[in-house]
Structure 1
Amino acid sequence: MSLLVASPVAGTVMPMSEVPDPVFAEAMVGPGLAVEPAGGRQDAVAPVDGTVITLHPHAFVIATEDGKGVLVHLGIDTVKQKGDGFTLHVVKGEPVRAGQPLIGWDPEAVRAAGYSPVVPVVALDAQPGMLSGFRAAGEVTTGEALFVWT
């Protein structure tokens, strides 16, 4: 079954290889795309329908009904912010719909704290050939398609 993975934030699409962190850039956790977020306080939304199986102030994983896991990481090294500036709108174990606000945050505050606000969107445990329809570099709005996972 094909899964459309949508952008959790508005901004500029970039290849995962350009993410300033080798774990993401080298697709160690899985393939995907990243988004350099637009400025200002915003909500990161669910990129797919599913259940929140991992939830941190700076990151979450949603598992779909058929077991696919999508990781969204809000910024690089933002775990060091210890939740400062992030507001959780859901709890672990909660079922969510694509487009539902999950975490409020401010990419500009992340940048001001000395971290990259880039948002990797990762198809966990997927093989590169399982993803297609990659969105070309350029502007993306929240909820627009990033890629398809088959």
Structure 2
Amino acid sequence: MTTVTSPLAGVAIGLSAVPDPVFSGAMVGPGTAVDPVREPIEAVSPVDGIIVSLHPHAFVVVDPDGHGVLTHLGIDTVQLNGEGFELLAAKGDTVERGQALVRWDPAVIEQAGKSPVSPVIALEAAADSLGAVLEEGVVDTATTLFKWK
């Protein structure tokens, strides 16, 4: 069982509230989303594992059980070409839950016309493989978002 904690401080809102049909329709995988606080913050690893993909706006960490967790910082933020994001780790790094991976400011992203809402996705997971999915309430980087069987 993999416990996935929030990579961000903010409010859990659930995938259905994400303003992007690819995420809200769970086409990438099941999970939830966090509407982050509007201040400069660090996105942290939601699991212990290895960074297999790292972009300024998104990262995937695979845990020892082979579960890949995608954190996508904002919606359509790939269009910003990395502006407003600072990488704090590198692809291939072994990381621990809670380790800072990207520094960014959701308020700046919002001012650029993008949504800072951040999906946290269990890649290639069956919808029924997640338990206790958090879809509301204030979260910090120690809050469990879901458990992956």
| Both structures adopt the same fold (TM-score exceeding 0.5) | yes
- Asked if structure 2 preserves the Cα contact closer than 8 Å seen for 1:42 and 1:104, the reply is yes
1:141 Cα deviation from its structure 2 partner:
1.0
Query: Secondary structure of the residue that 1:103 maps to in structure 2?
Result: strand
The aligned residue for residue 70 of structure 1 is 69
What is the rounded CA distance, in whole Å, between the counterparts of 2:137 and 2:106 in structure 1? 18
Write the distance in 1 (CA, Å) between the matches of 2:8 and 2:59. 13
Instruction: Indicate the SS of the match to 2:13.
Output: strand
For the 8 Å contact 2:14–2:134, the answer to whether it is kept is no
Compute the RMSD of aligned alpha carbons: 0.7
- Helix, strand or coil for the counterpart of 1:129? helix
Unaligned 5+ residue runs, structure 1?
Answer: none
Identical pairs, percent: 51
Whole-Å Cα distance in 2 between the matches of residues 148 and 116 of structure 1?
26
Match of 1:144 in 2: 143
Q: How many residues align?
A: 149
Shift of 1:133: 1.2
Report the residue type matching 2:91 in the other structure: K
1:43-82 correspondence runs (5 A): 43-82=42-81
2:5 alignment partner AA = A
Match for 1:34: what amino acid?
A
C-alpha displacement of 1:136:
4.5
- Offset of residue 143 of structure 1: 2.3
Runs of 4+ in 1 over 2 A off after TM superposition: none
Contact 1:5 1:146 survives alignment (8 Å) = yes
CA distance in 2, matches of 1:90, 1:107: 19
Give the distance between the partners of 1:8 and 1:86, measured in 2 at CA. 15
Indicate the residue corresponding to 1:110 in structure 2: 109
- Can you list the C-alpha shifts for 1:6-29, whole angstroms capped at 9, x where unaligned? 000011101101100011000001
* Structure 2 partner of 1:84: 83
- Report the residue type matching 1:68 in the other structure: H
Contact 2:12 2:35 in 1 (8 A): yes
Report SS of the residue matched to 1:28.
coil
Residue-by-residue CA offset, 1:24-69 (whole Å, 9 max, x unaligned):
0000010000000011000000000000000000000001112110
Mapped partners of 1:44, 1:101: distance in 2: 6
Equivalent residue, structure 2, for 1:5: 4
